[in-house]
Amino acid sequence: MSSYADRLHALREQLKRDRLDGFVVPLTDEHMSEYVGAYAQRLAWLTGFQGSAGTAVVLSEAAAIFTDGRYTLQVRQQVSGDHWDYVAVPATSVSSWLGANAPDGGRIGYDPWLHTRAWVEEARKALAEKGAELVPVTSNPIDSVWADRPAPSPATLSVHPDEAAGKSSPAKRAEIADWLHERKADAVVLAALDSVAWAFNIRGNDVAHTPVALAYAIVNADGTADLFVAPEKITDAVRQHLGNAVRVHDRAAFAPALKTFAGKRVAADPGSAVAAIFDALESGGAKVLPVRDPVILAKAIKNPAEIAGHKTAQAIDGAALVRFLKWFEETAPAGGLTEMSAADKLRAFREETGALKDLSFDTISATGPNGAIPHYKVTDESSLPIERGQLYLVDSGGQYAAGTTDVTRVMPVGEASDEMKDRFTRVLKGHIGIATAIFPDGTTGAQLDSFARAPLWEVGLDYGHGTGHGVGAYLSVHEGPQRIAQPFYPGGQSLEPLRAGMFLSNEPGYYKAGEYGIRIENLVLVVPAEIPGAEQPMLGFETLTFAPIERTLIKPNLLTKQELAWINSYHMRVLEVIGTRLSEDDRQWLEAKCAPIG
């Protein structure tokens, strides 16, 4: 269709044919994924919004798009205010908006394969208060009007070797079986794509930047399993790897299989198993246990093989990033670069390693005012020229067979202002506050979040996103359950205790709307902290990412002696890890960047 206005009109006409007064369009897939395949990009197709979190509601006379604080600027750039109202969450939820705006007695449709049961119950209650009804659809109306909707990816699965995984799939399934026995349960549904990938030591190419396949699994209390995936995705090598204890079925057989557990106790995660899964289990007579997927925590606590692989990936990735930073510093001041061309060059450096499987997310390549959009996505239309006097922010990462990386650096183009240096140094102080934190075993990320913000709070500043997210082992770049955040930032606070072996990002920032953005991000590993005389187990962080932090943006007089010691020690380690991977010219540049400060 020629325009987003045409698409909105076509959807409204389809809703009339379906006898619906409205429809809810989330940005997710049947697995409640954060990043989804092209076939599931219904929100982007309908509205033009390119962010990674959002929802739309279409009524006959009104339409609204719901985004959090990360996308306040972006949604206004990408979605027409002539046809859509912008609604901020969590201040206003989709359910509360529906309760206020749905027509009396109206029928509001939703796809039960794209929403959790909790959301359905909340929305149904809000609508009932004004006599409106929430109606499940058997066919998504957007799919009826999206004529050129892509088909799901046909990519085949691949085996993730046991030596890289650190544990075989049978051993993992045996642990899941033990978990089921403890709960007197017969089976557990694995709906999250990365849970399936982890449990079976398989990877795929069905979702951009995340090495997962479109599959469901049911693991049984005897350690056997049923894997539901398009049969053409299974190669002989994958079939041999899965073994006789894993029965492979067509993905289309999953929904009917859920109805075969009459009288059985079946666990399903209310966070990743959609409403349709709960409905099918219950309609088939199963007793559903709404508990967290047992893979979630096991996957988050990395074993020695996964940690070693991640460190290898970080060294490969760090060398590519250093080459890019040198190239950028030498090239950008002369002019001619754009956000898009810079992102392309960084990808080229990563590809030259010969180890890159994919980026771990769309590179955030942002100069000047675009840097103030935390989750900015550069496009051909939005790409700005990189000009002198600006700060350039690049948040990027790679998927390597050894691990998943995510790193942010900021570079000045020419001379930075004193204010920019002040803000950069305060962000650095917050970054160091997290990197050097020592805390009791059992501490949550929410308790640590203020360590990163305190230097900004001192001068009345803050940033509108969490400080850290979990990261997978050659899996999703955003992985739960651990994170570092307060409850009023997107995603909510993390009440999950931090445990040794978890990967997290450490990424405080500062954003001046319309002018510039700053973020410094490394990945860290939770490790035991050896404290002489300690009366309880303590934890700390080991920094895993190695690339120079731009020295010309640092105001040494704002750093304490301990902070100066940290940055100098960190840069010495950057040289040790990365220096031997560089050419002589690149290594000399890195040595200058890592020279002692202060």
Tens-digit pLDDT profile for residues 456-515: 999 999 998 999 999 999 999 999 899 999 875 555 556 899 999 999 999 999 999 999
User: Residue 8 pLDDT more than 70?
Assistant: yes
Selected residue with higher pLDDT from 91 and 143: 143
User: Residue 574 pLDDT more than 80?
Assistant: yes
CATH of segment(s) 304-593 = 3.90.230.10
What is the third-level CATH fold of 158-298? Creatine Amidinohydrolase; Chain A, domain 1 (3.40.350)
Q: What is the pLDDT of residues 28-79, one digit of tens each?
A: 999 999 889 999 999 999 999 988 889 999 999 999 999 987 788 889 989 9
Give the integer Cα–Cα distance in Å for 69 and 465: 8
Contact of 431 with 522, CB cutoff 8 Å: yes
Cα 516 from chain centroid (whole Å): 23
Q: Classify residue 138 as exposed, middle or buried by CB count within 10 Å of its CB (0-12, 13-18, 19+).
A: exposed
Q: Give the mean pLDDT of 189-212.
A: 97
Q: What is the pLDDT of residues 214-236, one digit of tens each?
A: 999 999 999 999 999 999 999 99
Continuous H helices in 399-504: 418-435, 445-457
Mean pLDDT, the chain, rounded, equals 95
Say what the pLDDT of residue 583 is: 97
CA angle 472, 478, 480 (to 5 degrees): 75
Q: What is the pLDDT of residues 152-173, one digit of tens each?
A: 999 999 999 999 999 999 999 9
CATH of segment(s) 4-145 = 3.40.350.10
User: Residue 383 pLDDT more than 80?
Assistant: yes
Share of the chain above pLDDT 90, in %: 92
The two tokens of residue 471 are 């990261």
Q: Is the pTM of this model over 0.75?
A: yes
Q: Give the mean pLDDT of 335-352.
A: 98
Say what the pLDDT of residue 490 is: 55
Give the integer Cα–Cα distance in Å for 77 and 71: 10
Q: Give the mean pLDDT of 524-549.
A: 96
Q: What is the pLDDT of residues 205-219, one digit of tens each?
A: 999 999 999 999 999
Give the integer Cα–Cα distance in Å for 332 and 335: 6
Say what the pLDDT of residue 114 is: 97
Within this chain, domains 4-145 and 304-593 share the same CATH topology: no
In angstroms and rounded to an integer, the radius of gyration of the C-alpha atoms of the chain is 25
User: Residue 314 pLDDT more than 70?
Assistant: yes
Say what the pLDDT of residue 253 is: 98
Give the integer Cα–Cα distance in Å for 208 and 376: 17
Q: Give the mean pLDDT of 329-340.
A: 97
Domains of the chain, by residue range, sit at 4-145, 158-298, 304-593
Cis preceding-peptide flag for 508 (omega within 30 of 0): no
Say what the pLDDT of residue 358 is: 97
User: Residue 277 pLDDT more than 50?
Assistant: yes
Say what the pLDDT of residue 489 is: 57
User: Residue 552 pLDDT more than 80?
Assistant: yes
Q: How confident is the model at residue 1 (pLDDT cuts 50, 70, 90)?
A: very low
Say what the pLDDT of residue 52 is: 82
Say what the pLDDT of residue 223 is: 95
Contact of 130 with 43, CB cutoff 8 Å: no
User: Residue 585 pLDDT more than 80?
Assistant: yes
Alpha carbon distance, N-terminus to C-terminus of the chain: 60
Q: Report which of 297, 335, 506, 495 is spatially closest to residue 414, judged by C-alpha positions.
A: 335
User: Residue 538 pLDDT more than 80?
Assistant: yes
DSSP-assigned states of every residue in 177-245: HHHHHHTT-SEEEE-SHHHHHHHHTEE--SBTTB---SEEEEEETTS-EEEEE-GGG--HHHHHHH-TT
Say what the pLDDT of residue 49 is: 93
